[in-house]
Amino acid sequence: MYSEYLGDGYHDTIRSMLKTDEFLLPDSMIDAEASIEAMRMIVTPLYAFVAKGDPTPITTEEQFKVIQEAGRYALCAILCHIIGTSRIQAEGFERYRNIRWEKKREKFLNLAYKTMEKYPKGGVLNAP
């Protein structure tokens, strides 16, 4: 559904990053509008910050890959919050309660910030 933005096979990539399975994290939860919108709310200000108030269009593959990677990290952070605060409270998910979801959320949020710091400036010619 969002493979154009998050990469082919992003459902499995997200589950792999979170070290979880489809039982805990089905595709529908990854694709939920609230999850995707929350990810955008994290990545958009980061992009504006690294662009230093002059956000130019994303014109190179390298720029797109950095935004894509940051988006995956931000989505993982959002999903950690959802899993840790409500999903594991439901019956049948007891085995996931020992995982420190809040700590994972912080890790992925930091990775999103660090990834955006690598955002290449310049555009098509990658001028200095």
Q: What is the secondary structure of 55-67 as a DSSP string?
A: -----SHHHHHHH
pLDDT at 43: 85
Q: What gap in Å lies between CA 12 and CA 9, rounded to an integer? A: 6
Does 123 reside within a domain? no
pLDDT at 56: 61
The pLDDT tens digits for 66-116 are: 889 999 999 999 999 999 999 999 999 999 999 999 999 999 999 998 988
Does 126 reside within a domain? no
Number of domains making up the chain: 1
Domain that holds residue 55: 3-117
Average pLDDT over residues 20-31: 95
Does 30 reside within a domain? yes
Average pLDDT over residues 30-50: 85
Pair of tokens at residue 97: 């309660």
Does 89 reside within a domain? yes
Q: What gap in Å lies between CA 14 and CA 28, rounded to an integer? A: 13
